[in-house]
Homo-oligomer: A and B are copies of this chain.
Amino acid sequence: MLSVLHNSPTIANHPKFIARAISDDRLPVASVIEEIASQYRTIPAGTDIYSEGEASDDLYMVVEGWVFQHQILEDGRRQILDFALPGSLLGFQPDRGAEMTHAAEALTRATVAVIPRDRLGEFLSRDPELGLRVISAAAGALNTAYESLTDVGRRTAREAVAHLLLRLFSRICAAGPQVAGTAISFPLTQEHIGDALGLTAVHVCRTLRCLREKGVVQLTNGKLSVLDPGALAEIAGCMPDAEASSGTQIPSRERMRRVG
């Protein structure tokens, strides 16, 4: 399951890093998909690939750039549902012709491969293997949604931010090996992070300062440096190891669970 990390020895092998924390696997459907894509679309930063309510009959694969999916409530509250990096599939819908329940927006300039839903069936019968791959991709997306869910629902702001950074970092590592401490391109604003985690940008700012002051990460001007992946994973993993250097308290939410 950790195949995504194979290329990144320095960081990826860190024991804390190789935890269930990172369960964000997306099989490379890339090669297959690119063959059956009907066309490519390049989208400027900040514009929608598809919008909520729209009846989209296409599936997309990100080829380049960052994309995110979100839902917006009537009064403007926004929840970011997932980030899509090159290789990610986008726009699954249960039924043909169903309205999209969320929007997808390009975070940076991005290009996507467009797969018409109608032709998917045709390709599925020609190449049964493809079905498995698409199912795997969907399963991967489901897994990251589940990770986000426990981030938002059950982790502290600090834990959640650390965990999100870790997950995104691991996906970036998957694309090309990274060395700890190196600054990598990271186009999210604090507002994006907040909207992904159910926090306000203000509080993300404070949380990030906390992580910065501990020398764990550095995040400025669209560049992310993970200085201490171990400590980051420690914070994300929310284990009250008492190892945590500075006198920061983990809330005492211990509810001893009756072990089913």
B residues near A239, Cβ cutoff 8 Å:
74-75
B135, A131: Cβ atoms closer than 8 Å: yes
Could you show 25 A-B contacts with beta carbons less than 8 Å apart?
Answer: A25-B94, A26-B94, A46-B260, A48-B260, A69-B146, A72-B257, A74-B238, A74-B239, A75-B240, A75-B254, A76-B254, A77-B155, A92-B138, A93-B139, A94-B137, A101-B143, A101-B147, A125-B128, A130-B131, A135-B135, A135-B138, A145-B149, A149-B152, A152-B153, A152-B198
Chain A residues engaging chain B, CB cutoff 8 angstroms = 1, 3, 20, 23, 25-27, 46-48, 52-53, 69, 71-79, 81, 92-95, 98-99, 101-102, 105, 120-121, 124-125, 128-132, 134-143, 145-150, 152-155, 195-198, 237-240, 250, 253-257, 260
B residues near A254, Cβ cutoff 8 Å:
75-76
Shortest beta-carbon distance from A95 to chain B in Å? 6
B74, A136: Cβ atoms closer than 8 Å: no
B residues near A147, Cβ cutoff 8 Å:
101
